[in-house]
């Protein structure tokens, strides 16, 4: 059975129509019903009926990307538990961890780390001639444009945060720091305003994470 589509069984058609009826606003981005699922029960049911876990929508996003983007923690965990590629990049080179960091979702960040999400992946992209003029193609690359790792993105988001940003940007930073996801040359334990917290975390870390 091809992995690129879902089988047309009676049960699947029922699941599809249910998703179509309640979540039609997501269809404009393409993808499969798995992209539109908003509960872990629906995710599991669709996977069990053959939906391709890593199929992509019009934006190059897998169902895991979408679940993370909308902070659907239970859906993300269900997808990862059923073999979704946690390090798959979207059309802009973002992994699920990049998206969780951008969303400021500490719970999703920690969940992805449990599934061994790559903490050193960059989200660099290169615009081709066709993409620039016709919006046809975009390829992830690290050679033509410097990208950001999840840690660097978390730092950027935390530095740009203000009182109107209700996301736990600091929590994301500390969660990444605690698993040794720091990249770049700066020492976060010397970061003004955060050094005390970073030093506390570092003191509690196991040797391999320091």
Closest by CA to 129, choosing from 121, 118, 137, is 137
pLDDT value, residue 202:
64
| Sequential pLDDT tens for the chain (210 residues) | 444 455 555 665 665 555 555 455 566 677 888 998 989 999 999 999 999 999 999 889 999 999 999 999 999 999 999 999 999 999 888 999 999 999 999 999 999 999 999 998 888 654 444 434 444 444 443 333 358 889 888 888 888 888 777 788 888 988 998 888 887 776 676 666 666 667 666 666 544 444
Distance CA 138, CA 151 (A): 24
Taking the mean position of all CA atoms in its chain, how far away is CA 29?
A: 17
Distance CA 198, CA 194 (A): 6
45, 62, 179 from 159: Cα distances, Å: 41, 29, 21
Backbone angles phi, psi at 127, to 5 degrees: -85, 125
pLDDT value, residue 169:
86
Task: Read off the pTM.
Answer: 0.72
**Domains located in the chain, CATH noted:** 1-85 (1.25.40.20), 90-210 (no CATH)
Closest by CA to 77, choosing from 96, 98, 94, is 96
pLDDT value, residue 14:
61
Q: What angle do CA 171, 36, 117 make, to 5 degrees?
A: 40
pLDDT value, residue 170:
85
């Amino acid at each position: 059975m091809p992995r690129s589509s879902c089988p047309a069984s009676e049960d699947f058609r029922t699941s599809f129509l249910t998703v179509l009826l309640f979540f039609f606003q997501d269809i404009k981005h393409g993808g499969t019903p798995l992209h539109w699922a908003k509960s872990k029960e629906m995710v599991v049911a669709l996977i069990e009926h053959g939906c391709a876990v890593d199929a992509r929508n019009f934006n190059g996003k897998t169902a895991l990307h979408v679940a993370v983007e909308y902070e659907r923690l239970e859906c993300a965990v269900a997808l990862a538990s059923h073999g979704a590629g946690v390090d798959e990049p979207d059309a802009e080179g973002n992994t699920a961890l990049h998206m969780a960091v951008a969303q400021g979702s500490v719970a999703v960040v920690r969940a992805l780390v449990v599934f061994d999400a790559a903490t050193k992946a960059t989200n660099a992209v290169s615009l081709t001639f066709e993409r620039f003029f016709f919006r046809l193609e975009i390829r992830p690359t690290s050679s033509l444009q410097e990208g950001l790792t999840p840690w660097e993105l978390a730092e950027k988001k935390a530095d740009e945060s203000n009182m109107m940003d209700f996301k736990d940007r600091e929590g994301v930073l500390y969660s990444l720091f605690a698993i040794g996801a720091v990249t770049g040359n700066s020492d976060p334990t010397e970061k003004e305003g955060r050094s005390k917290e970073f030093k506390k975390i570092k003191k509690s870390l196991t040797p391999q994470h320091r």
